[in-house]
């Protein structure tokens, strides 16, 4: 007899408070909204009422000003991101107009044999292939490395196999034995643990005696397949330019047409190489090593301290340390290496977590070292801190999620807060146009790309905060699932047999965000005076579709 009236009283009170805090009409009297609202109930025959007029004062004095401050902050960040994007694309335009190819910036001459010395004019090159239970791609990656055109007595292929499956170990051994019988100097190295993951494997691989004889090391992940002339085109930059530490090739995606998710990944990564890598190379001779499809000078790696497993982005860690010592990097845009994009949504989420958490954590650990460094110019240090880390590795992810997925949907409850059109339409349209230029064939997918990127920004933001605060998943490393040619061969039925239960497919974070944005869209449709609800309905659909697992293969 007591609980039921109490529950009704609390229910009415909460509804009244929510109505006061989020009712966005300015002309309350005209709309029939009373200035003083009371929530009442009867408990044991006694009428109890509360005066909720304080809620409207709380809204006007606290909630609205806070929301305005958040909007202003987002507008400032939007301008910073826009200016950075404009500047990077102007640099790319300069490269195209003045033909600033790597061969024009640095000395490049083909490697030639000496009549007397023969192959001894060629430097010793080590090719490393780190892998972990890569059943579907091990033959492709090992075969591609062994087909590289380079004198056999000047080339060593090192397979760093951390596999735990005995069957896969036997397959790796058989593949190495096959190429060894063809005259390839190939080594298969294994550890008794997986400490440090990929960085630990690469570090252990550098300790073998035959590695000390090598001048350069080329690294290819298990799903990367270089063309036979890769070394012939990249190594001369290192041979003829002693100040160059790294030559990085771009990626070309074999399975970009597999599904809509891989098409959108292709758009993002093509822009990354076209704008971020190209502009960093031309401006400061620095960009982040991508962890694969690159050739390093051994002396530069040793001077920088070698591989370090303190973060999940050991490649970026090494690149930043080498750059702070004055070494220069070359980005070879015309040299492409075939690779594979993750085609499953869960695998893509794990990859994006690592790619956002690692840089943020590295920034936390290296910010003081960068500031105190005296071997490079102050402009390069500012570029590293502000442009490379702060804007592109931290702000972009957080800004995208909070502005487009939180602030904009919530703005339907605050019509008195004006969000200018340039921040919601013009700037995003220009930035999106830049990104589409990198992949013209996917122009018609631009709407899907925007919505999907906003969905993924939630995971990138989470990873960024985990990295900055060193949360529990800061060192999480999940190997990205690969299929190689499995989806084109008889393995297709076996790959498709793995069934996932309905509840296992549901992604709760996407579902919650989708439901919230959907509620905002419905409110905007009912009470708003703009067309923002159209975007909100589409964004809610993108979150909900991702939430039920209908993304990828």
Res 2 pLDDT > 70: no
Average pLDDT, the chain: 87
Q: Predicted confidence band at 3 (pLDDT cuts at 50, 70, 90)?
A: low
Contact in structure between 36 and 53 (CB atoms under 8 Å): yes
d(CA 512, CA 43): 36
Query: Averaged over 106-110, what is the pLDDT?
Result: 93
In a domain, 150, yes or no: yes
Please pick, among 161, 223, 309, 315, the residue that the annotation labels catalytic.
Answer: 315
pLDDT digits (tens, 9 = 90+) for 73-100: 999 999 999 999 999 999 999 999 998 8
Instruction: Check the CA dihedral 440-316-143-173 and report its sign.
Output: negative
Per-residue model confidence (pLDDT) at position 61 = 86
Active site residue 315: yes
Alpha helices (H) along 229-297: 230-240, 260-271, 278-284
d(CA 359, CA 314): 10
In a domain, 1, yes or no: no
Nearest partner of 395 among 78, 113, 97, 160, judged by Cα: 78
In a domain, 206, yes or no: yes
DSSP 409-469: HHGGG-TTS---HIIIIIHHHHHHHHHHHTSGGGGGGHHHHHHHHHHHHHHHHHHHHHHHH
Nearest partner of 329 among 358, 360, 300, 356, judged by Cα: 300
Give me the torsion for CA of 365, 360, 423, 278, rounded to 10°: 90
Q: Predicted confidence band at 498 (pLDDT cuts at 50, 70, 90)?
A: very low
Q: Which H or E element spans position 40?
A: strand 38-43
Res 239 pLDDT > 60: yes
Per-residue model confidence (pLDDT) at position 29 = 39
Q: Predicted confidence band at 349 (pLDDT cuts at 50, 70, 90)?
A: very high
Please pick, among 162, 221, 223, 317, the residue that the annotation labels catalytic.
Answer: 162
% the chain with pLDDT above 90: 74
Active site residue 29: no
In a domain, 32, yes or no: no
* Greatest distance between any 2 Cα atoms in the chain: 111
Domain count, the chain: 1
d(CA 147, CA 214): 19
* Least confident window among 43-57, 201-215, 460-474: 43-57
Per-residue model confidence (pLDDT) at position 471 = 84
| Between 252 and 192, the higher pLDDT residue | 252
pLDDT digits (tens, 9 = 90+) for 353-375: 999 999 999 999 999 999 999 99
Query: Averaged over 25-51, what is the pLDDT?
Result: 45
In a domain, 490, yes or no: no
Query: Averaged over 224-252, what is the pLDDT?
Result: 96
Per-residue model confidence (pLDDT) at position 526 = 92
pLDDT digits (tens, 9 = 90+) for 141-182: 999 999 999 999 999 999 999 999 999 999 999 999 999 999
Q: How far is CA 304 from the centre of its chain?
A: 25
Q: Predicted confidence band at 35 (pLDDT cuts at 50, 70, 90)?
A: very low
pTM score over 0.75: yes
In a domain, 20, yes or no: no
Per-residue model confidence (pLDDT) at position 119 = 75
Q: Predicted confidence band at 484 (pLDDT cuts at 50, 70, 90)?
A: low
In a domain, 456, yes or no: no
Q: Which H or E element spans position 47?
A: strand 46-51
Nearest partner of 189 among 176, 199, 178, 171, judged by Cα: 176
Alpha helices (H) along 213-313: 230-240, 260-271, 278-284, 298-304
Per-residue model confidence (pLDDT) at position 494 = 39
Per-residue model confidence (pLDDT) at position 485 = 56
**CATH number, domain at 321?**
3.90.550.10
| Residue 500: strand, helix, or coil | coil
In a domain, 335, yes or no: yes
Per-residue model confidence (pLDDT) at position 132 = 93
Domain hosting residue 137, numbered range: 123-345
Alpha helices (H) along 118-229: 138-146, 166-180, 197-205
d(CA 300, CA 284): 17
Nearest partner of 214 among 158, 155, 159, 292, judged by Cα: 155
């Amino acid at each position: 007899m007591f609980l039921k009236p109490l529950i009704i009283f609390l229910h009415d009170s909460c509804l009244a408070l929510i109505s006061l805090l989020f009712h966005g009409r300015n002309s309350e009297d005209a709309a029939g909204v009373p200035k003083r609202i009371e929530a009442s109930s009867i408990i044991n025959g006694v009428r109890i009422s509360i005066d909720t007029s304080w809620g409207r004062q709380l809204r006007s004095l606290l909630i609205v000003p806070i929301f305005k401050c958040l909007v202003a902050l987002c507008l400032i960040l939007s301008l910073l991101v826009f200016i950075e994007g404009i500047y990077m694309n102007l640099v790319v335009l300069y490269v195209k107009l003045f033909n600033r190819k790597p061969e024009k910036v640095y000395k490049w001459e083909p490697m030639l044999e000496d009549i007397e010395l023969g192959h001894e004019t060629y430097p010793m090159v080590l090719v490393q292939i780190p892998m972990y239970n890569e059943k579907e791609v091990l033959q492709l990656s090992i075969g591609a490395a062994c087909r590289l055109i380079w004198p056999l007595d000047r080339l060593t292929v090192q397979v760093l196999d951390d596999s735990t499956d005995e069957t896969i170990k036997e397959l790796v051994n058989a593949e190495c034995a096959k190429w060894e019988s063809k005259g390839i100097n190939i080594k298969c190295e294994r550890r008794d643990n997986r400490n440090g993951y990929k960085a630990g494997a690469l570090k252990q691989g550098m300790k073998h005696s035959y590695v000390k004889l090598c001048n350069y090391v080329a690294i290819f992940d298990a799903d990367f397949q270089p063309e036979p002339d890769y070394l012939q085109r990249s190594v001369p930059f290192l041979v003829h330019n002693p100040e160059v530490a790294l030559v990085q090739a771009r990626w070309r995606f074999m399975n970009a047409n597999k599904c809509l998710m891989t098409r959108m990944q292709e758009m993002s990564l093509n822009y990354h190489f076209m704008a971020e890598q190209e502009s960093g190379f031309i401006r400061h001779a620095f960009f982040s090593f991508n962890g694969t499809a690159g050739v390093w000078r051994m002396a530069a790696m040793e001077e920088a301290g070698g591989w370090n497993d303190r973060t999940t982005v050991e490649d970026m860690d090494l690149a930043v340390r080498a750059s702070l010592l004055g070494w220069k990097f070359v980005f070879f845009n015309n040299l492409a290496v075939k690779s594979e994009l993750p085609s499953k949504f869960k695998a893509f989420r794990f990859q994006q977590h690592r790619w956002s958490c690692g840089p943020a954590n590295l920034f936390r650990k290296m910010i003081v070292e960068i500031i105190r460094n005296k071997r490079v110019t102050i402009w390069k240090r500012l570029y590293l801190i502000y442009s490379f880390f702060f804007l592109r590795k931290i702000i972009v992810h957080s800004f995208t999620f909070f502005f487009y997925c939180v602030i904009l949907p919530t703005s339907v409850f605050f019509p008195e807060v004006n969000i200018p059109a340039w921040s919601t339409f013009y700037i995003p349209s220009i930035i999106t146009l830049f990104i589409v230029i990198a992949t013209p064939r996917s122009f018609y997918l631009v709407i899907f790309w925007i919505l999907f990127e906003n969905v993924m920004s939630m995971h990138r933001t989470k990873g960024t905060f985990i990295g900055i605060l060193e949360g529990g998943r800061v060192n999480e490393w999940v190997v990205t699932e690969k299929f190689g040619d499995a989806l084109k061969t008889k393995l297709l039925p076996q790959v498709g047999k793995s069934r996932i239960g309905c509840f296992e497919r549901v992604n709760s974070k996407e579902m919650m965000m989708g439901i919230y944005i959907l509620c905002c869209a419905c409110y905007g449709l009912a009470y708003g005076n703009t067309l923002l609800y159209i975007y909100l309905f589409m964004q809610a659909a993108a979150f909900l579709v991702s939430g039920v697992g209908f993304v990828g293969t």
